């Protein structure tokens, strides 16, 4: 009976993690797309394509990025590439672990 309860708890936590990761990725995608629209002033469809391309680190572009692209737009793209490559859930886990360790060291 105890093992069944542990398995059920583990399954619940795994489903929570998967749902959290999907939600975090969707929010990141929406925020990055809106930031691209604000910084570049391009149509929404172009910004969606560009940011999806940067999150997937595939290198496709429809012309938003180039030699005359604003610095703010490039920073949004760079952040998308880094977070897409690192997987946002791992970034949150790493930041949470760092904060936890810093709090432990301060208490000592």
What is the pLDDT at residue 42? Answer: 92
pTM over 0.85: no
Q: How far apart are CA 59 and CA 45, in angstroms?
A: 17
The model's pLDDT over 6-15, given as tens digits with 9 standing for 90+, comes to: 555 555 545 5
Q: Is the pLDDT of residue 86 over 80?
A: no
Going by the DSSP 8-state scheme, the letter that residue 87 receives in this structure is -
With a CB cutoff of 8 Å and minimum separation 6, the contacts of 81 are 54, 55, 57
């Amino acid at each position: 009976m105890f093992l069944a309860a542990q398995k059920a708890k583990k399954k619940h936590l795994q489903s929570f993690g998967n749902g959290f990761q999907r939600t975090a990725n969707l929010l990141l995608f929406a925020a990055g797309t809106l930031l691209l629209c604000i910084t570049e002033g391009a149509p929404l469809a172009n910004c969606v394509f560009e940011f999806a391309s940067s999150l997937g680190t595939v290198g496709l572009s429809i012309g938003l990025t180039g030699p005359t692209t604003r610095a703010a737009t490039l920073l949004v793209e760079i952040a998308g590439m880094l977070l897409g490559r690192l997987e946002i859930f791992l970034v949150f886990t790493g930041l949470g672990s760092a904060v936890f360790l810093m709090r432990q060291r301060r208490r000592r």
